[in-house]
Amino acid sequence: MSAPVIEAAGLTKHYGRSVAVEGLDLVVNKGEIFGLLGPNGSGKTTTILLLLGLTEPDGGSVRVLGHDPLREPLEVKRRVGYLPDAVGFYDSMSAWENLRYTMRLAGISSAEERIASALARVRLTEVADRRVSTFSRGMRQRLGIADLLAKGSELAILDEPTSGLDPQSTQELLDLIVQLAGEGMTIVLSSHLLSMVQAICSRVALFHRGRVGLVGRVADLASQVLGGSYIIEVEAEGCDTAKIVADVPQITRMTVVASDVTRVDAEIDIRPEIASRIVAAGGRLKRLSMDRSSLDEVYVRYFEQVDHAA
C-alpha cells in the first residue's frame, strides 16, 4: 500500500474565539472517494482550506501528497485541484478562456489539447466559446470539474459540489465523480446532504462542531452507531398502528411519520410481531421496511448520543 494522499494529525484552527477545527485527525488513501460530512458550520470548508494551505493552522500537522501545504504550497497546489463551494468564473470570458487562464497560472503551456479533452469530458464542448455569464449552475460546476481535469490533478477536493443543483444535474455530477475516481483520481468531497453522497463515498468522516465524530465506511458506521437499535417503518391502512403495537415490550420509541406511516424504534427485529398484530386487527399491511444504513440516521443518532453524554 502506498503512502496516504492526505495525512492530518491534531489539526486545529480558531477564528478569534470560535473554534473552527479542533484536533482533527484524518487519513485519506489513494483512489478513495472520501466524504467530509456534516451540517453547515461544522468545519468542513476550514478543513479543506487547511489542506490546501490557503489558511494557516494554529496547531497540528498536515501532509498532502507527501508535501507540507504550509511550506511548499506551490507544489501541493500544482497537484491538487480545488472546486470551491459555488465556484466562480470570470463572467466576461468564455469557458475556454477561463480554463486557459488557470492553465497559464498553473504554468502549463500548450494546453489546447488538454482543455479540449477536459471540456469534452464534461460535455461542454459546444459552449466552449460562450461567455460563462450565460452558464447555468450545473454547467459552472461541470466547468469547475473540467478545470481540475485539464490541470491533471491527482487529488480533487470538492466543496459542496452538488449544492444548488437539480436532481438530474446532481446525478450527472456524482456519476462523473465516480468515473474520475475509477481512473485513479483521489477525491475528497464535502457535503451536508448525507444521503446523497453516501452512495458514492468509499469512506466518510462525520463532522460535528469542528471535530470528526466518526470515520469509516458507511455500513460499518451504521452498525457501530445504531448497534442494538432497529428502525422499522410500517405503512398500514384501516387500523391504528400506533395503538395496536404500543404494548410490544421491545419498542423504545414510536413516531407517526405520515397519515398511514409509523416509525417504530425497537431493541430487536420485531417485524413479524408487528405484521401479525396488524393482520389480526383487520388492518391492511402495505409496507414493512427496515433501513439500517441511512447516514442521516447514523448522524442524528450519533450526535444525540454525544450530546447526551456531554
The minimum distance between CB 18 and another protein, in angstroms, equals 12
Residues 126-165 that bind another protein (CB under 8 A): 144, 147
With CB under 8 A as the contact rule, the residue among 3, 104, 286, 296 that binds another protein is: 104
Q: What residues does 212 pair with on adjacent strands?
A: 207
Q: Does 75 bind another protein (CB under 8 A)?
A: yes
Q: Does 297 bind another protein (CB under 8 A)?
A: no
Nine cell digits for residue 284 = 391492511
Number of residues that bind another protein (CB under 8 A): 35
Give just the sign of the alpha carbon dihedral 93, 52, 18, 34: positive
The minimum distance between CB 45 and another protein, in angstroms, equals 6
Rank residues 56 and 291 by Cβ distance to another protein and give the closer one.
56
With CB under 8 A as the contact rule, the residue among 106, 115, 205, 295 that binds another protein is: 106
Q: Does 192 bind another protein (CB under 8 A)?
A: no
With CB under 8 A as the contact rule, the residue among 102, 191, 198, 262 that binds another protein is: 102
Q: 207 near 21, Cβ under 8 Å?
A: no
Q: Does 41 bind another protein (CB under 8 A)?
A: no
Q: Does 84 bind another protein (CB under 8 A)?
A: yes
Q: By the criterion CB under 8 A, which residues form the site for another protein?
A: 15, 45-46, 49, 52, 54-55, 70-75, 77-78, 80-84, 86-92, 101-102, 104-107, 144, 147
